[in-house]
Amino acid sequence: DARVTQTPRHKVTEMGQEVTMRCQPILGHNTVFWYRQTMMQGLELLAYFRNRAPLDDSGMPKDRFSAEMPDATLATLKIQPSEPRDSAVYFCASGPLSSDGYTFGSGTRLTVV
């Protein structure tokens, strides 16, 4: 089965450090999302790309977060500088433009100490 690959699966970092999370969407999928999941807030949309162009990043703290798709096989989410409140599970999802739904990766569990 085709799947969305996220790396790393786990990341522990110190406050103030840069964190980069990577996502390899399913080949041929032209829609990519980044979500953050916490106990308090649930699933929050951070960024949404279509054909590598950002369509919606209103959910992302602009001062420290950035999301890019340098090519169709890679999406990145960076946090600089990281803070303890950024501790969460970050999910990437991809899908076609049709109504088939989206496939989620297994997530990156980030802990900022």
* H or E, element range at 24: strand 19-24
Query: Cα(20)–Cα(105) distance, rounded to whole angstroms?
Result: 16
Q: Would you say 5 or 13 has its CB closer to another protein?
A: 5
Quick one: tokens of 34?
A: 């980044």
Min CB(16)–another protein separation in Å: 27
Min CB(33)–another protein separation in Å: 7
The b-or-e profile of 42-65 (16+ CB within 10 A means b, else e) is: eeeebbbbeeeeeeebeebeeeeb
Which residues contribute to the site for another protein (CB under 8 A)? 4, 31, 33, 35, 42-43, 45, 48, 50, 55-56, 91, 93, 95, 97, 99-107
Min CB(55)–another protein separation in Å: 8
Q: Would you say 70 or 101 has its CB closer to another protein?
A: 101
